[in-house]
Structure 1
Amino acid sequence: MLSGTLPSSLFTLPSLEYIRLAKNKFRGNIPLELFSLHSLKGLSLASNKLTGQIDVLDNGSISQTFQLLTNLTYIDLSSNSFRGDWDLDALLSSLTNLETLILANSGVSVTTSNANHYVNPKFGILSLASCNLKVFTVSFRAMTILKHLDLSNNNIQGHIPEWVGEIGVERLLVLDLSNNSITGTIPNVFEDWSGLEGFILNGNQLEGKIPTSLNKCQNLRIIDLGNNHLNDTFPSWLGDLPKLQALVLRSNYFHGGIEASSTVKSPFPALRVLDLSNNGFVRQLPSKYFQNFNAMKNVVKRSQKPEYIQVGRMYYSIIVVVKGTDRDFKQILIEYTVVDLSNNKFEGYIPSIIGNLNSLKVLNLSHNSLTGRIPQALGKILEIESLDLSWNKLTREIPQTLADLTFLGFLNLSQNDLVGPIPQRKQCNTFQGDSFEGNPKLCGLPLPKKCSERPQEPQLEGDGDGNGDAEESEFTWKVVMMGYGCGTLLGFVLGYLMLSTGKPKWFNAVADAAEHMILKRQNNSIYNNISL
């Protein structure tokens, strides 16, 4: 929390080798005395409020330049508000001992002639995020032991070069090319990146398929390819990556059903963030994957100190739809688990097994074609904070179990076919009408429509995970009604015959006719005498 300007006397110590003043509130210019400190090996001024013009080359006696600080091995000026144009080729040629250069969000612009200049073979970290870089410079090709390459949020255009696989051979941990204008396909050249932990290419114009050579990168923790033009089926083979924590494929052209790989017995065991939203996935929700998402079950904090998803030495940042809006997480807690399958073409029922993900924080299944009832098992996700099931074709009542989700801060069940009263207790009383609008048969606060006094048709318990379950529920109700009207013994006999003979059509017709006659003779008090 140190503040004020940097004292010039600090930089006059003749043998000073390392200056680390990161994460303070210093403001103003860097003292000129710094640029005469030839003994300096490491400089970190990151995350302050420093300003002023700083350059690489010596353009005059009053210029602030790093060109003569030839002993520097480490420079971190990130997250400040400097000005200046840095020639990357000149910098790397002058500072031949440099191993780490971090200028991300420093205010400095980086240019290059894209010539293949000599670079220190020990170069390990290069972070040039938000530096107005326009090309994928060929100088990177010589950085054979690079561990971290961050070129995100620049103006890089063109294709990813085929020689990208030569960068950091066997030791590269992070490749972040997100939020550029990169086109073409992702080259299939990653067999040698056995140590790769983060593969982040979101926010480009990439086409084609996900390269299968990523399956060789068994240490991958993050794969973020969202917001591109990729056209592929779901890469089920990625389920074999034992350490994968985040898989983000949102806003592409992925299509087809999400089928589990027959060669992967326990897919995605470490996954904490799954975002497949805004694609063209069809058919059923992936029940088998829900069953194996062990990292979303019974998450226990290992310490009081917050832990975040990291790749290499850097925190992973992500945009997640929370409470109906995009939320930018600069760093995401390791226990903040997310499943977002919204804006696809999924059909069928919501599987009850999703309730086993009891540490899930965000569940978004909105804008699909899901049918059936909302599973009561969702009430077991006690940690959930945001639940969006809107714009589907869900039916039946809202489960009372949702009212017990004490951490639920956002609920959207709008634009479905839900019926009956809205639960009037606990957490459900905290939501506004827009959480339930678009369901004409819903009633009760916060909607203006009041519920009638007449009891509704009783329902059988169970979540109905498929059409078979729904049919069986309806069929069992017929047997109960017939048993009530015709005598318990006769009802059981009829039920036994129908179940044992596979419900032949002629018998169903007889049962339906008998049921119709019985219902006609019974008054509304029948509903008060039946206990489910």
Structure 2
Amino acid sequence: MATSLPIPLSSFFLTFKNSTLPTIILIFPKFHPSSVGLQAYSTSTFPIQGLQEKSHPKSKLVSLDLSDWAYEQLTIDKHALEGLVHNLTEVRHLFLDGINMALSLARCDLQGKFPKNIFDLPNLNRLYLGDNQLSGQIPRSLGNHLQLTHLDLSWNQLSGQIPFSILNLMQLEYLGIVRNTLEGSIPDEVTAFPNLISLDLTNNLLNGTLPSWLYTAPSLKTIYLSQNQFSGHIKEFQSKSLESIELENNKLQGPLPSSIFQLLNLTELTLSSNNLSGVIELSMFSNLPNLKLLDLSYNSLSLTSNTTSTINHILPNLTRLFLSSCNLSEFPQNLKGLKSLECLDLSCNKIEGKIPQWMQEVGNDSLTYLNVSHNSLTEIEHFPWKNIEVLDLSFNLISGNLPIPASTIRIFLISNNSFNGEVSSLICNATYIKVLDLSHNYLSGTIPQCFRNLSNNLQFLNLKKNKFYGTIPPTFAEGCQLSNFNLNGNLLEGPLTPSILNCNDLEVLDLGSNKINDTFPHWLGSLPFFQVLVLKSNHMHGSLCVNSSKSSPFFSKIQIFDLSSNYFSGPLPVRYINSFEAIINLEKIESTMSYMGLNDLGGGGFYTYSIGIVMRGQYMELGIPKVIGKLNLLKGLNLSHNNLNGGIPTSIGNLTSLEWLDLSSNRLSGTIPNRLADLPFLSSFSVSQNQLHGQIPQGKQFNKFGNDSYEGNKVVLIGYGCGVVFGMSVGYVVFQTGKPKWVNLVEIQHEKKRRRKSKK
């Protein structure tokens, strides 16, 4: 048992406030006891380890602060914590954040079930247990704490419903339970929370209608209920004190209440991604002079713009305006004169023609984020914004030469337009650029050599589907930051350059559908974060065999490995399959969900792009290696249209994540292993056009497969047809020669997904 160590009075900082009892704030010196005892004026000396014993006297301690001990390894076991809250009956302020507890804390985070005894402290009026890993339900005893004014349980793993007893907390001023998994409706009573100033229940699973007290609470200033599942109409607000209303990403319906336009103190209003409807004239916000943020995106609203007046004198403080998917047919005239605007999103509307001349007055010195993607713009003359950092013109109809943005640009997206001509080297003046996406245009010429000068900041470079010719830039500088490099679908020639190894963070390299002439780049396997390699449809040649005797794994994090339509020879590289740890090891699954993305677009966006997937080998005399059964996170396996011989290895039955398996059009013999019937997620299966015989496995998933799954064999036909389900979330390896129909479907699905993400 750890020994107690009393702390001398000189170690304390004492403050005396205007109250019947002194407030004693305990600040502990930096030492490393395994258990800490507390000694204070007018209290008995008692070790924390012994607080649970009834023989210890009650303490008159009013404020106890044990914060910020993450680096001191302070440990308090579960029983000590229970004793702490049981005996300190006079405590009004208890601060535990930052302590490392052996059972209840991990690093700075409380863990385990919610400590119900925390509410045995009758005089406690502020409780902060946020940013931990507490689980379970919020106890009903919460409602016994009638003096509580501040309660923060945010960033935990709390579940269940908010207890109805919370309505007893009539003194509550701040309530925060952000990012948990709470469900059900918010407890409702018209007279609840008369002193509430701030409510934050963002990012839960709460549903039902908004509570009635939300509209009547007289002191309420901030309402944060985003990222939930609230439904119904927004009713009329009676309180005039509201400053911030954030309700985005719910299921709210109906028109905007007229009272919103009378909230004179309102600074933030975000209602995006709901089902709100009706026609709104932007001048309706004319009575909100303090409004800084307005977001009405992704509803069923139709916005109209008053062509006879401007709002420069109406909304002088507006800095962020988001009107994506609001049925706009032109740039709103109400934007004129908004010289302080910083972020403007007009994407996913029906705006045609060119950006009007008067738009250069909108945020000329202040605008840093502009998104006009997914419209029908046809012309861009110039960019007058001097400090622009994020500019998204993608998915329009713009033609002509590529415009050069200001040198301050960090994100430049112009994909899916009709830009043509060569790329000027002036673009390399944008030395801070992180993301450059010029894909799906008609740009030509050679890739500017100066791109290598951008490599210290450039992370995403996408030149896919253009007409670039010549060679890949021959040198990549040391310290290269590229993580995603896509040159797919151009006319590039020549070999690959080993200097790409200077890009130590490289995750994606897509060189498919070019004219690259080289042997297989085994050296890429040493990149520590490398996940996607696409070399399909080039002039690659030579053996796939690994000559190196090194035992270190190759391509250990690979998830997509596409060598289709080349001239490779030799057997299937078993060593590579043995090294595919990201598909073999379950612990790697989390990294699979996050690649090919960048969470930093200034306006709160997320940039990502898809990779077309096909892998195929040339006609080779080889069988399916048993080692394929080690890839236990494999979602799909397509070895169709090759010259594979031998039997189907029973080890495929180990691929418990497999959703589709296509071994058709080979020379496979033997029987279909019965173990395949145990694959729980197998939804598509084909072994047609082989030399198989015997019975087809029966039961489970095999009852769903049609006769066409077995055509061209000598097997007993059972079952009926089923559609193809394709999942890419973990990894897959496909070797084929004929591009099947599902590949086109997959590419279309990925493109639709990318468009949806770019809209959001």
TM-score greater than 0.5 by the shorter chain? yes
Within the candidate set 8, 12, 28, 2:329 is matched to 28
- 1:75-474 matches, within 5 Å, as 75-87=369-381, 90-91=382-383, 94-105=384-395, 107-109=396-398, 111-112=400-401, 120-134=406-420, 135-166=422-453, 168-192=454-478, 194-260=480-546, 262=548, 265-299=552-586, 307-313=593-599, 314-320=607-613, 340=615, 342-439=616-713, 441-445=714-718
Worse overlay, 184-193 or 148-157 = 184-193
Report if aligned partners of 2:538, 2:566 keep a CA contact under 8 Å in 1. yes
Report if aligned partners of 2:689, 2:710 keep a CA contact under 8 Å in 1. yes
Shift of 1:121: 3.6
Report if aligned partners of 1:397, 1:421 keep a CA contact under 8 Å in 2. yes
Greater fraction helix: 1
Worse overlay, 294-303 or 230-239 = 294-303
Report if aligned partners of 2:507, 2:531 keep a CA contact under 8 Å in 1. yes
* Cα distance, 1:75–1:300 mapped onto 2, change above 3 Å: same
- In the alignment, residue 301 of structure 2 is paired with which amino acid? G
Report if aligned partners of 1:173, 1:311 keep a CA contact under 8 Å in 2. no
Whole-Å Cα distance in 2 between the matches of residues 443 and 3 of structure 1? 55
Report if aligned partners of 1:145, 1:169 keep a CA contact under 8 Å in 2. no
Report if aligned partners of 1:178, 1:202 keep a CA contact under 8 Å in 2. yes
* Cα distance, 1:430–1:68 mapped onto 2, change above 3 Å: closer
Give ranges in structure 2 of 5+ residues lacking alignment: 1-272, 274-298, 600-606, 721-760
Shift of 1:66: 3.3
* Cα distance, 1:301–1:230 mapped onto 2, change above 3 Å: closer
Whole-Å Cα distance in 2 between the matches of residues 79 and 97 of structure 1? 19
Which position in structure 1 is the counterpart of 2:353?
A: 53
Report if aligned partners of 2:318, 2:340 keep a CA contact under 8 Å in 1. yes
Shift of 1:8: 4.2
Secondary structure, counterpart of 2:572 in structure 1 = coil
Secondary structure, counterpart of 1:395 in structure 2 = strand
Worse overlay, 416-425 or 293-302 = 293-302
Give ranges in structure 1 of 5+ residues lacking alignment: 59-63, 322-339, 448-532
Identity %: 35
Shift of 1:298: 3.9
Report if aligned partners of 2:434, 2:458 keep a CA contact under 8 Å in 1. yes
Report if aligned partners of 1:344, 1:367 keep a CA contact under 8 Å in 2. no
Secondary structure, counterpart of 2:359 in structure 1 = coil
Are residues 1:5 and 2:302 paired? yes
Report if aligned partners of 1:51, 1:83 keep a CA contact under 8 Å in 2. yes
- In the alignment, residue 383 of structure 1 is paired with which amino acid? S
Residues 35-65 of structure 1, C-alpha deviations (whole Å, 9 max, x = no match) = 431111221233x334233426x2xxxxx63
* Cα distance, 1:188–1:264 mapped onto 2, change above 3 Å: farther
Residues 430-475 of structure 1, C-alpha deviations (whole Å, 9 max, x = no match) = 1122222222x3333359xxxxxxxxxxxxxxxxxxxxxxxxxxxx
Report if aligned partners of 2:494, 2:517 keep a CA contact under 8 Å in 1. yes
Secondary structure, counterpart of 2:428 in structure 1 = helix
Shift of 1:209: 1.9
Shift of 1:282: 2.3
* Cα distance, 1:346–1:67 mapped onto 2, change above 3 Å: farther
Report if aligned partners of 1:145, 1:171 keep a CA contact under 8 Å in 2. yes
Whole-Å Cα distance in 1 between the matches of residues 354 and 659 of structure 2? 46
Whole-Å Cα distance in 2 between the matches of residues 295 and 25 of structure 1? 42
Secondary structure, counterpart of 1:378 in structure 2 = helix
- Structure 1 length-normalised TM: 0.71
Alignment root-mean-square deviation, CA = 2.7
Shift of 1:374: 0.8
- In the alignment, residue 445 of structure 2 is paired with which amino acid? G
Secondary structure, counterpart of 1:434 in structure 2 = helix
Whole-Å Cα distance in 2 between the matches of residues 45 and 193 of structure 1? 37
* Cα distance, 1:160–1:193 mapped onto 2, change above 3 Å: farther
Within the candidate set 360, 378, 388, 1:66 is matched to 360
Shift of 1:70: 1.3
Secondary structure, counterpart of 2:586 in structure 1 = coil
Secondary structure, counterpart of 1:407 in structure 2 = coil
Secondary structure, counterpart of 1:242 in structure 2 = coil
* Cα distance, 1:230–1:113 mapped onto 2, change above 3 Å: closer
Report if aligned partners of 2:710, 2:717 keep a CA contact under 8 Å in 1. no
Shift of 1:151: 0.1
* Cα distance, 1:74–1:131 mapped onto 2, change above 3 Å: farther
Whole-Å Cα distance in 2 between the matches of residues 78 and 264 of structure 1? 51
* Cα distance, 1:67–1:252 mapped onto 2, change above 3 Å: farther
Secondary structure, counterpart of 2:316 in structure 1 = coil
Report if aligned partners of 1:258, 1:286 keep a CA contact under 8 Å in 2. yes
Whole-Å Cα distance in 2 between the matches of residues 370 and 192 of structure 1? 43
Report if aligned partners of 1:234, 1:256 keep a CA contact under 8 Å in 2. yes
Report if aligned partners of 1:281, 1:345 keep a CA contact under 8 Å in 2. no
Shift of 1:429: 2.3
- In the alignment, residue 319 of structure 1 is paired with which amino acid? G
* Cα distance, 1:397–1:44 mapped onto 2, change above 3 Å: same
Whole-Å Cα distance in 2 between the matches of residues 433 and 100 of structure 1? 54
Aligned length: 409
Secondary structure, counterpart of 2:500 in structure 1 = helix
Whole-Å Cα distance in 2 between the matches of residues 281 and 413 of structure 1? 25
Whole-Å Cα distance in 2 between the matches of residues 217 and 287 of structure 1? 27
- In the alignment, residue 390 of structure 2 is paired with which amino acid? T
Secondary structure, counterpart of 2:360 in structure 1 = coil
* Cα distance, 1:272–1:207 mapped onto 2, change above 3 Å: same
Report if aligned partners of 2:469, 2:490 keep a CA contact under 8 Å in 1. yes
Shift of 1:120: 4.0
- In the alignment, residue 433 of structure 1 is paired with which amino acid? N
Report if aligned partners of 1:3, 1:27 keep a CA contact under 8 Å in 2. no
* Cα distance, 1:113–1:50 mapped onto 2, change above 3 Å: closer
Are residues 1:16 and 2:321 paired? no
Whole-Å Cα distance in 2 between the matches of residues 126 and 404 of structure 1? 49
Shift of 1:161: 2.4
Residues 319-358 of structure 1, C-alpha deviations (whole Å, 9 max, x = no match) = 236xxxxxxxxxxxxxxxxxx3x25233322111111111
Residues 282-303 of structure 1, C-alpha deviations (whole Å, 9 max, x = no match) = 2211111111111102436978
Whole-Å Cα distance in 2 between the matches of residues 172 and 109 of structure 1? 25
Secondary structure, counterpart of 2:471 in structure 1 = coil
Whole-Å Cα distance in 2 between the matches of residues 404 and 415 of structure 1? 23
Report if aligned partners of 2:394, 2:413 keep a CA contact under 8 Å in 1. yes
- 1:507-522 matches, within 5 Å, as none
Are residues 1:43 and 2:344 paired? yes
Secondary structure, counterpart of 1:256 in structure 2 = strand
Higher relative contact order (CA 8 A, sep 6+): 1
Whole-Å Cα distance in 2 between the matches of residues 344 and 287 of structure 1? 16
